[in-house]
C-alpha cells in the first residue's frame, strides 16, 4: 500500500492548524477567566528571552503549512503579512492559511515526491526533492512551531494537554 503526497501533507497541515486554533482559544479563555487586563498580551509571551513570542510561532506555523502546500504543488507560495496583534487577527490568519492549504487538489501534489524544491535561506540555499522537503523540512518545522506555541500557553498556566495538541478524530 502506498500513501499519496497529498494525503501525507494537506490533511496533516489542516489538522495541525485546527489544533493550534483549539489551544489558542483555550489560552484566550484562560486569560479572560483570570481577568488579565489585556488578554491579547498573551500573544507576546515567550518561553525564554531569545525565543520568538507566541504570535510569531503561530505565523511561522501558518507559513510552513501554506508554503509547504504551494511548493509541493509547484506554485509560488502566497504571502501573508506578519501583522497580527490580537487573538481575533491570529484566528483569521489561521483560517486564511487553512483555506489556502485546502485549495490545493490531490492532482497538484500527488507525484511531487521527486519535484526539485529550492529554498533561499539566511544561512544559505537548501535543495530538496518533494518528499525530502515534506519529511525533513516542512513537517518538522510545522510541528516545532505548533509545539512551541502549546508550550508557551502551558507555561502561562493554560490547562491544556496532549489531546488538545493532537486533537481527536
pLDDT digits (tens, 9 = 90+) for 53-109: 999 999 999 999 999 999 999 999 999 999 999 999 999 999 999 999 999 999 999
Cell 535543495 belongs to 127
The pLDDT value recorded for residue 44 is 97
- Where in the sequence is the domain holding 152, given as residue range(s)? 5-166
Residue among 109, 89, 87 nearest 13 (CA): 109
Whole-model pTM? 0.95
Number of domains in the chain: 1
User: CATH number of the domain that 37 lies in?
Assistant: 1.20.120.450
Amino acid at each position: 500500500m502506498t500513501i499519496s503526497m497529498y494525503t501525507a501533507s494537506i490533511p496533516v497541515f489542516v489538522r495541525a492548524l485546527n489544533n493550534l486554533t483549539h489551544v489558542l482559544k483555550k489560552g484566550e479563555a484562560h486569560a479572560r477567566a483570570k481577568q488579565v487586563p489585556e488578554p491579547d498580551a498573551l500573544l507576546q509571551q515567550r518561553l525564554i528571552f531569545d525565543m520568538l513570542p507566541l504570535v510569531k510561532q503561530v505565523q511561522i506555523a501558518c507559513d510552513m503549512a501554506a508554503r509547504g502546500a504551494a511548493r509541493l504543488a509547484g506554485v509560488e507560495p502566497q504571502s501573508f503579512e506578519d501583522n497580527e496583534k490580537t487573538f481575533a487577527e491570529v484566528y483569521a490568519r489561521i483560517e486564511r492559511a487553512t483555506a489556502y492549504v485546502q485549495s490545493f487538489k490531490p492532482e497538484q501534489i500527488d507525484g511531487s515526491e521527486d519535484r526539485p524544491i529550492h529554498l533561499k535561506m539566511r544561512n544559505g540555499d537548501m535543495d530538496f526533492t518533494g518528499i525530502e522537503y515534506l519529511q525533513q523540512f516542512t513537517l518538522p518545522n510545522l510541528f516545532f512551531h505548533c509545539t512551541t506555541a502549546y508550550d508557551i500557553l502551558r507555561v502561562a498556566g493554560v490547562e491544556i494537554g496532549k489531546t488538545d495538541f493532537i486533537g481527536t478524530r
